[in-house]
Amino acid sequence: MSQVGDIKNEMVEFRRAKILDAASQLFFDKGYNGTTIDDIAARLGVTKRFIYHCFNSKVELLTEVCNRTTAFAAEIADEARHGDSPPKERLRRFARDLTLKVVEGRVYLAVLFREEKHLPATALAALKRDRRRFNASLSALLEEGHRLGEFHFGNVDIALQAVTGMTTWIFSWYQPKSSMSAEQLAGEMEVLVLQAVGVR
C-alpha cells in the first residue's frame, strides 16, 4: 500500500512540476497579469481542471514559482554553513552548487524579481524568511573563514553582498546557447567568489 502511495505522490509531484515549468515560462514571456490559467492549460495540452486539481489559483502558482527559488538558495547556504570541510572548500562548493541551480532555475528567478509585487502577504513573509536564512548561513560561513584566516576582507556585510550578487544575478545574463556550459561557468564562479573574499 505504501508503495502505491509513493508512486501516486511521485505522479502528483511530476504533474505539479510540469505545471510550474509551463506557468513560469508564460509568466516570463507574457507577465503575470498577461497570463491566464487557460494559457497554461493550452501550453501543456490539458484542461483547466487538470491545473486546478494541483493548484487552487493563479496566485498559488506564482507563489510556488517564487518560493522554489529562495528555498533552494537557502538550502545550499545552510549546507555550506554546516559542513565539515574547511570554509574555503565549503564556499567553493557553495559557489558551484548555487551557480548550477541559478542557471537551471533562471526563468523562475526572473519571474520572482519581476512579479513579486503580486504575491500575497503570507507568501512575501515566507520569501523574507528564506532570504534571512540564506544571509545568516552565508554570513556565518564567511565569518568562520575570516576568523580562521582563510578569508581576507574588511567587512562581512560587503563580502556577503558581493558573493550574493555575483552568483544570484547570473540568471539575468546567462544564455543557455552560450559557448560556455553551465559547468564551465560554475568553475569560473568558484574562482571569482574565492577571489572576492580574499582567498590567497
Q: How confident is the model at residue 69 (pLDDT cuts 50, 70, 90)?
A: confident
Cell numbers at residue 111, please? 519571474
What average pLDDT does the chain have? 93
Residue 174 has φ and ψ, to the nearest 5°, of -70, 135
The whole-number pLDDT of residue 5 equals: 65
Place of cell 507563489: 63
Q: How confident is the model at residue 179 (pLDDT cuts 50, 70, 90)?
A: confident
Please give the distance of CA 36 from its chain centroid, rounded to a whole number.
24
Of all residues in the chain, the percent with pLDDT exceeding 90 is 86
For range 82-92, the mean pLDDT: 95
The whole-number pLDDT of residue 12 equals: 82
CB atoms within 10 A of CB 146: 18
pLDDT at 78 over 70: yes
Q: Distance between CA 173 and CA 177 in Å, rounded?
A: 12
| Nearest to 65, CA basis, from 39, 98, 32, 36 | 32
Q: How confident is the model at residue 2 (pLDDT cuts 50, 70, 90)?
A: low
- Please answer whether residues 108 and 24 qualify as being in contact, where contact means their C-beta atoms are separated by less than 8 angstroms: yes
Q: How confident is the model at residue 10 (pLDDT cuts 50, 70, 90)?
A: confident
pLDDT at 3 over 80: no
Determine which helix (DSSP H) or strand (DSSP E) holds 56, and give its type and residue range.
Answer: none
For range 55-78, the mean pLDDT: 94
Q: Which of 6-20, 97-111, 112-126, 135-149 has the lowest mean pLDDT?
A: 6-20
Q: Is 198 exposed, middle or buried (0-12, 13-18, 19+ CB in 10 A)?
A: middle
pLDDT at 11 over 90: no
For range 40-59, the mean pLDDT: 95
pLDDT at 138 over 70: yes
| Nearest to 65, CA basis, from 97, 96, 35 | 35
The whole-number pLDDT of residue 19 equals: 96
pLDDT at 83 over 90: no
Residue 147 has φ and ψ, to the nearest 5°, of -65, -35
For range 92-96, the mean pLDDT: 98
The whole-number pLDDT of residue 200 equals: 83
The whole-number pLDDT of residue 142 equals: 98
